[in-house]
Chains A and B, each alone.
Chain A
Amino acid sequence: MIVLERRPQPSRNWALATPLVAVLATMVFGGLLFAVLGKNPVEAIRTIFWDPLFGEFAFYYRPQLLVKGAPLVLIAIGLSLGFKAGVWNIGAEGQYIMGALAGAGVGLAFYPLDAWYVFPLMVIGGALGGWAWAMIPAILKVRFGTNEILVSLMLVYVAEQLLASMSLGLMRNPEGHGFPGSRNLNDYAAATSWINQNAGLHWGVAAALIAVIFAYVLLNRHMLGFHIRLTGEAPRAARFAGVNPARLILFCLGISGALAGLAGLFEVAGPAGQVSIDFNIGYGFTAIIVAFLGRLHPLGILLAGGLMALTYIGGEIAQSQLGLPAAAIQVFQGMLLFFLLALDLLTHFRIRLRKREVA
């Protein structure tokens, strides 16, 4: 009989190994899924994981990994701080939208002024936009004890309505023949976040790397990082250690909102180029997966963001080259999270085989 035995301490080895095992298990079961769909599983897995990195057209896909991964990493870093402290910001998607709207709004207001300070002001606008949107659930939680999961999630839908309104109204391109969507910021040199488009480099990629470093230093070298970890692991002990829970909530939601807002700004001023009704494509939600896939550790998140970007880009190649349906790719991505969470069990529990005892 198989029994689970709680480990006295979470296993460090398993904590590191589970992401790798989860990826392998996803490959095996994903391969089975593709085989059932009548595709060659080896070819499918190769197309998803190998082609974007080392295939014939890797020169194009490698920079795209940066473009796709940067917003995921940037948002996930912010979320991970809150998740570590038990503050659950589920509404990063809304903060991402608000950051993009605020930042693009600043840029569009200056159009067509060509000045060096336009882009820095947009960056500040983007961060403030996301921060302000996250402050709503934060203040409601601190003041009235509301549930930040619900409030932040519901605000995503409010933000989406605002986005539609802006695309159709205030920010609509006056030269766009009445079609929705703002001016393309890529045509406005002072407002673009691209550094080198062919290399996939925009300021969001730089910001994501900086965020990783800062988060690492914060968590390992700074008192605030210690408080965050302590609050998550032992809330009572944190109280005795003098942690002010209200301030911690405000900080965690604020920083995750600001980073999500920045991600939105860099995206709208770079890869997306314009405010449009369908601007948001779920980075804020996918980043939650990335945060957990990376074990809430800054370096882990960096790797997880890259892996997630890889499955997106590889998944698209598999769709067009092998005719795999989009839904199969989504199931494949879902498997990744499922296996990660399922295998997480091994970190906290030991599996023991025990002989059946006679009753």
Chain B
Amino acid sequence: MKLTALFASAAMVLGLATGAVAQDKTKIGFVYVGPVGDGGWTYEHDQARQAVVAEFGDKVETVFVESVPEGPDSERVMTQMALNGADLIFTTSFGYMDSTINVAKKFPNVKFEHATGYKTAPNVSVYSARFYEGRAVQGHIAGRMTKSNIVGYIGSYPIPEVIRGINSAYIHAKKVNPDVQFKIVWAYTWFDPAKEADAAKVLIEQGADVILQHTDSTAPQAAAKAAGNVITFGQASDMSEYAPSPRVSSIIDNWAPYYIARTQAVMDGTWESVNTWDGIGAGMVGIGEISDAVPAEIKAEALALKDSIAAGDYHPFTGPIRKQDGSAWLAEGEVADDGTLAGMNFYVEGIEGDIPN
């Protein structure tokens, strides 16, 4: 049993070594739903993790586990991080919500940050970005650029976050192009290049010459490139490898400022449970560079829209807006409240089709 003895002694040495180093560092765990190389959602969270390391250097130690399924596995990964001395844990997918709350109960001294959820606790904050602000800019460009007047939209799951994006894009496309029509395909996945490519192809076959996506891979970009004469927008990350065309702009999730601020708060002992929902103004939502494939005039309009949203002069959901069934929602000049937006489960007037359920 020499091998066992070897393992045991190695275990002791290594155990002591890691134990000694971990003392004065702030340890931060990240739980990712996809691979760090997905080029979209998880990629941007990992970029922000690297930004935290770049900002604090030796004062922090970050750990992450990628492709963690939602459910019991995520609970185990979080518990394991907490057991190993994490001070702060970012759980970066909606489906981690109940697991985060469960683990947070067991580790009251560990701080948790859950992305895109709605359940908080004394040691659990939630944070999300107002992606619908970016969707407004996209919708504007889409409405102006389409020649077929058909805009294709690849939805992931029919949840409020995605429906909000569809509504925001539609409202702003319609504003500049009354003939515009949205065709929506549900992929039922956040990341599946094959399914996303199929969805893009279907939409292009149906005449769409603009593809908006709420899924994370670059497959729709590749499909649009192959088809030619179709424009797309990067999702979650810039996807600039498809610029200047088909990718003409993008919505970029920029979590870095938030992650750095929350890490600092833990270090300073000032961390408290908050509910953060930031947009373009705070820098959490970035608009990727609008490429030369977009005429200068349209580009200027889009940037003006972006600036007015960032400055707080304009809210993308400003009345008059009716619901799909024709009933009134927002009166002239009225602005949607966050509660309605957070639970949005209806299309606005003019969008065809039903939200699947």
Q: How far is the CA of A184 from the CA of B7 in the complex (A)?
A: 42
Task: Tell which of B77-85, B233-241, B307-315 binds the partner.
Answer: B77-85
> Does B94 touch A at the CB level, under 8 Å?
yes
> Does A357 touch B at the CB level, under 8 Å?
no
The answer to whether B71 and A320 have CB atoms under 8 Å apart is no
What string of 1s and 0s marks CB contacts (under 8 Å) between B60-97 and chain A? 00011111111111001101110110000000001100
Q: How far is the CA of A272 from the CA of B157 in the complex (A)?
A: 20
The answer to whether B71 and A279 have CB atoms under 8 Å apart is yes
> Does B11 touch A at the CB level, under 8 Å?
yes
A-side contacts of B344, CB under 8 Å: 178
Which of B18, B67, B68, B357 is A168 in contact with, Cβ under 8 Å?
A: B357
The answer to whether A50 and B65 have CB atoms under 8 Å apart is no
What string of 1s and 0s marks CB contacts (under 8 Å) between A303-343 and chain B? 00000000011001101110101110000000000000000
> Does A60 touch B at the CB level, under 8 Å?
yes
What string of 1s and 0s marks CB contacts (under 8 Å) between B275-311 and chain A? 0000000000000000000000000000000000000
> Does B188 touch A at the CB level, under 8 Å?
yes
B-side contacts of A60, CB under 8 Å: 79-80, 83
A158-182 residues at the B interface, CB under 8 angstroms = 161, 164-165, 168-169, 172, 177-181
The answer to whether A168 and B76 have CB atoms under 8 Å apart is no
A320-B63 in contact given A55-B11, A180-B159 (Cβ < 8 Å): yes
> Does A358 touch B at the CB level, under 8 Å?
no
A321-B71 in contact given A43-B14, A177-B118, A177-B342 (Cβ < 8 Å): no
What string of 1s and 0s marks CB contacts (under 8 Å) between B203-217 and chain A? 000000000000000
A273-B98 in contact given A316-B76, A321-B84 (Cβ < 8 Å): yes
Shortest CB distance B17–A (Å): 10
Q: How far is the CA of A313 from the CA of B65 in the complex (A)?
A: 12
> Does B356 touch A at the CB level, under 8 Å?
yes
The answer to whether A327 and B35 have CB atoms under 8 Å apart is yes
Task: Kindly report which residue of chain B lies nearest to residue A322, judged by CB atoms.
Answer: B63
> Does A116 touch B at the CB level, under 8 Å?
no
Which of A172, A184, A320, A327 is B65 in contact with, Cβ under 8 Å?
A: A320
> Does B350 touch A at the CB level, under 8 Å?
no
Task: Kindly report which residue of chain B lies nearest to residue A197, judged by CB atoms.
Answer: B102
Which of B63, B159, B357 is A321 in contact with, Cβ under 8 Å?
A: B63
Q: Which 3 pairs show the lowest CB-CB distances between chains A and B?
A: A271-B72, A169-B357, A281-B69
* 20 additional contacts (CB under 8 A) given A177-B160, A271-B71: A46-B10, A61-B80, A164-B157, A165-B356, A172-B357, A177-B118, A178-B160, A178-B343, A179-B94, A180-B158, A278-B71, A278-B95, A281-B73, A316-B65, A317-B80, A319-B66, A320-B63, A321-B18, A326-B35, A326-B67
Query: Which A residues form the contact surface with B (CB < 8 A)?
Result: 42-43, 46, 50-51, 55-57, 60-61, 64, 67, 161, 164-165, 168-169, 172, 177-181, 184, 267, 271-274, 276-279, 281, 312-313, 316-317, 319-321, 323, 325-327
